[in-house]
Amino acid sequence: MARRVLHDEYFKRAKREGYLARSAYKLLEINERFRLLRPGHRVLDAGCAPGSWLQVAGELVGPRGVVVGFDLTPVTHAMPANVRTVVADARTLDAEALIALAGGRFDAVLSDIAPSTSGHGDDLVSARLCRSLLDALPGLLAPGGRLVMKTLEGAETPPLLAETRRVFDSARLFKPKASRGASRETYVVAEGYRVPREPQAPRDHGPDGPRR
């Protein structure tokens, strides 16, 4: 009962403090723990609708920073002046267009994308979405940049973490307190991006589409 009351409190806090969803507190906790987003940063939010992470990131980078978000679903809520959004698919990104909106490569890439859940193989689809994002990083993330991406824990979690560590100085799993207790979601938090010297051929990640 106490755990359910705790999670309800995040929902109430979001309403009270003006965030669009309780997921805002996941990013706030991640950033409090790892200090990934700083004033003046350029940040990309993948799968940004309805916009709670845009709100948080916009606050953290301040007026000298910029946040660019994309999603298949348009963001209709008013956002801070330093936030820009476009309609786009995570699997077919135009990296140059996103960088142009930000004025340069991103200091951090965020993703709270989750698969359309079916109850079977969701963790595999989630890992596939994360790998799509890893494949896109050479065209998006600045050297030394940071990454936060949600995944559903399962058999693919250890290899996904190992793949992330190959191109970052450090990568770890972190589950915020604001995540629902019964949820399998966890976050890969990585720092110190090392841009691959040789471009890699894109992987076939299948037809499964993302949702927020």
The catalytic site residues sit at 150
Any alpha helices (H) in 21-171, and if so which ranges?
Answer: 24-34, 52-61, 95-102, 122-136, 157-167
Type of residue numbered 57: A
* Alpha-carbon gap, residue 35 to 37, rounded angstroms: 6
* Alpha-carbon gap, residue 86 to 181, rounded angstroms: 32
* Alpha-carbon gap, residue 44 to 84, rounded angstroms: 10
Contacts 24+ apart (CB under 8 A), 94-97: 95/136, 95/139, 95/140, 96/139
* Alpha-carbon gap, residue 154 to 60, rounded angstroms: 32
Asked whether the beta carbons of 157 and 185 are under 8 A apart, the reply is no
